[in-house]
Amino acid sequence: MRHARGKEGDAKMVQRAPKRHVLDFEQPLVELEDKITELKQLAVVQNVSVDEEVGRLSEKADRLRNEIFAKLTAWQQVQLARHPLRPYALDYVSALNTEFVELHGDRTFADDAAIVGGFMTLNDRRVMMIGHQKGRDTRENIRRNFGMPQPEGYRKANRLMRLAEKFHLPIVTLIDTPGAYPGLGAEERGQALAIAENLKLMAGLRVPVVSVVIGEGGSGGALALGVADRIIMLQHAIYSVISPEGCAAILWKDQTKVKEAADALKLTAKHLLSFGVIDRVVPEPPGGAHRDPAAMADTLGQVLYEEVNYLSHVSPTVLRERRLKKFLNMGYFEQESP
Amino acid sequence: MSWFRRERRGVQPIQKKAIPDGLWKKCDLCGEILYVKELEKRLWTCAKCGNHFMISTQQYIEILADPGSFRETHTGLISGDPLQFKDLKKYRDRIREYHEKTGMEDAMVTGFASMDGRDVVLAIMDFSYMGGSMGSVVGEKFARAAQDAILRRRPLIALSRSGGARMQESIYSLMQMAKTAAMLSRMSEEGLPFISILTNPTTGGVTASFASLGDVIIAEPKALIGFAGPRVIQQTIRQDLPEGFQRSEFLLDHGMVDMIVPRDELRRTLEGLLDFMCARAASAPDQEVKDDSQSPAVS
């Protein structure tokens, strides 16, 4: 399912030739923006005024951007959520200019680089940060397994969450995974069990938990970091029980029906907010988080600080009670009177 | 003793579908043709290879509960269609079809029962209803069963067989994993036993939530149990899977289940386990443990 994405995202390319990662529907917009940049450079070199032209083109670009992003299809949202230039957990950590002490290993088997975590500061607050981590280039993607954790990753997260509870640190999780890795070793070492244990642990934690889906919320592998007091999604993130690819293959019996599946799964932040499954949607910079990672990080930092601050005033008992109730209320069914 | 003339009547050729009216049944695993009356006596397990056939929820109730003791709870819960999901078929139509075909309301039946006189709460999944998939109704029923167990201080026994989360409810079905696990977190705090029985097949979101959270986990022999299905794994790693991969015996070897128990010993095993696990449940909740105050631990 994921092989096609293996070639993406070389860190060096990010700086030199971002055009290599332009999505189809972004193309006209990016071309226009390139023109504006070119024009500006020209103005500097030839010392002529291009303000009027630049202003005109910028307006046009804004209009075009609004047009494109006002009617994004579900499948386009999926592509944005998986955009190879999209900021990942550690990008936010470094952009937020926080103190971050990464902690490693599940103390049993290995250190899974597909999940990162450690002590982190958020302004004047100290928290435990845990997040999925995708790779930016091929080598890093191999090391991080494209953000698909092994059981060790979830057990590391489990350990860090228990640490956080011990030291009364709020927990912030950044969710971004295609899913838990479906491999031989993962099954041998209890992938399902590792995920289940996290769900149970998180439900009973005595410290605040804030989860943000920053990219892909891929099924149980995402939820294993997502049993939170506040569940937040970035505007173009997605969250669903199965990937559109998997859903198309199973229900449509046709892997090419990804667009139909993406539509049917209602996996966008807007949908999930309307269902009441998530609590908040964080707006992204125009064109998506990857177009202005610094601005996105700023916003996210503020949101996290705000949420953590708010929850820190709630007593552990009330926190847990509310969290349990929140998840018990999740579901949609009809009750026939007996 | 003729070699050529068939003396016994009614002997059937092996592969043909012509096996009359459910008198004979072929074992999926070893291909042995088995006499149904004999199969019934053996609780639908193959005499040759020990394969456990899939049986109905009613049959499990008969195997596990004291005769006549089962009282079904939380009926009348029907799947909504929160996403108005439509693939090749409408989800609503699927729900209706399975309801008509199986007579069940959804893929789980819950109820009170006694086992050897001990009161328990049962939650039994059924694969015949939409592949035993977990949607909002299954999640809700499990949560309510756990709630019953807590309120009446009884052990909870769940029997799983499921293809995983129900795709047609997307995020709602995913959240059922959190919901069921959250109730089990509460049960643990209350010191109440939860025993999970895994049967063929149990995969996906059910394995990755309540089914793996048993204080004791029991598997029926040769059941397929895993997170990802074998086909998905094969496509991912592009290798043949080892023989016996993701079967009960494999899970026992890798430390994922406590024991493999054949169907005819299930009940006796459960009774034995509950003797050990119910000492605290029978008494009032332990106040010291329940106390939420943050007094420092006594060293």
- The last residue of one of the domains, among B30, B53, B76, is B53
Which residues does chain B have within 8 Å of residue A190's beta carbon, measured at their own beta carbons?
Answer: 212, 254-256
Q: Are residues B201 and B226 in the same domain?
A: yes
B137, B172, B254 member nearest A188 (Cβ): B254
Q: What is the C-alpha separation between A92 and A77, in angstroms, rounded?
A: 21
What is the average pLDDT across A292-301?
Answer: 96
Q: Is residue B242 part of a domain?
A: yes
Alpha carbons A324 and A291: distance in angstroms, whole number: 38
- B92 and B28: one domain? no
| pLDDT recorded at residue A17 | 44
Q: Looking at the predicted structure, is the pLDDT value of residue B35 above 60? A: yes
- Whether B132 and B254 map to the same domain: the answer is yes
Residue B5 belongs to a domain: no
Residue B3: pLDDT band (50, 70, 90) is low
In a domain, B11, yes or no: no
Whether residues B184 and B247 fall in one domain: yes
Q: What are the pLDDT digits (tens) for B179-205?
A: 999 999 999 999 999 999 999 999 999
Q: B221 and B96, same structural domain?
A: yes
Q: From the list B183, B188, B233, which residue is nearest A184 (CB)?
A: B233
Tell me whether residue B9 is in a domain: no
Strand A209-218 relative to strand A230-234, pairing: parallel
A-chain residues within 8 Å CB-CB of B189?
204
Nearest to B171 among A241, A246, A333 (CB): A241
Window 274-333 of A, Cβ < 8 Å to B = 275, 277, 316-317, 323-324, 327-328, 330-333
Q: Which residues lie below 8 Å from residue B186, measured CB to CB, with a gap of 6+? A: A203, A204, A324, B146, B150
Whether residues B93 and B44 share a domain: the answer is no
Q: For the segment A104-157, what is each residue's pLDDT rounded down to a tens digit? A: 999 999 999 999 999 999 999 999 999 999 999 999 999 999 999 999 999 999
Q: Which of residues 42-61 of B touch A (CB under 8 A)?
A: none
B113 and B199 assigned to the same domain: yes
If contacts are CB pairs under 8 Å, which of residues 250-269 in chain A contact chain B?
250-253, 260-261, 264-267
Same domain for B29 and B79? no
Task: Output the domain CATH number for residue B190.
Answer: 3.90.226.10
Is B152 a member of any domain?
Answer: yes
Residue B189 in domain: yes
Q: Residue B47's domain spans which residues? A: 20-53
**A316-328 and B170-189 are packed helices; what angle lies between their axes, rounded to 10 degrees?**
140
B215 C-beta neighbours (distance < 10 Å), count: 17
Q: Are residues B46 and B118 in the same domain?
A: no
Q: Provide the domain count of chain B.
A: 2
Both B222 and B198 in a single domain?
yes
- The answer to whether the beta carbons of residues B146 and B186 sit under 8 Å apart is yes
Closest chain B residue to the Cα of A190, Cα to Cα: B256
> Using the beta-carbon criterion (under 8 Å), do A264 and B185 form an inter-chain contact?
no
pLDDT tens sequence across B49-90: 999 999 999 999 999 999 999 999 999 999 999 999 999 999
pLDDT (average), residues A188-201: 97
- Does residue B291 sit within a domain? no
pTM, 2 dp: 0.90
Same domain, B259 and B138: yes
Same domain, B243 and B121: yes
Mean pLDDT (whole number) for A166-172: 98
Query: Hey, is the C-beta of B174 within 8 angstroms of any chain A C-beta?
Result: yes
Q: Is B292 a member of any domain? A: no
Mean pLDDT, residues A69-95 taken together: 95
ipTM of the complex: 0.91
Residue A186 has pLDDT above 90, yes or no: yes
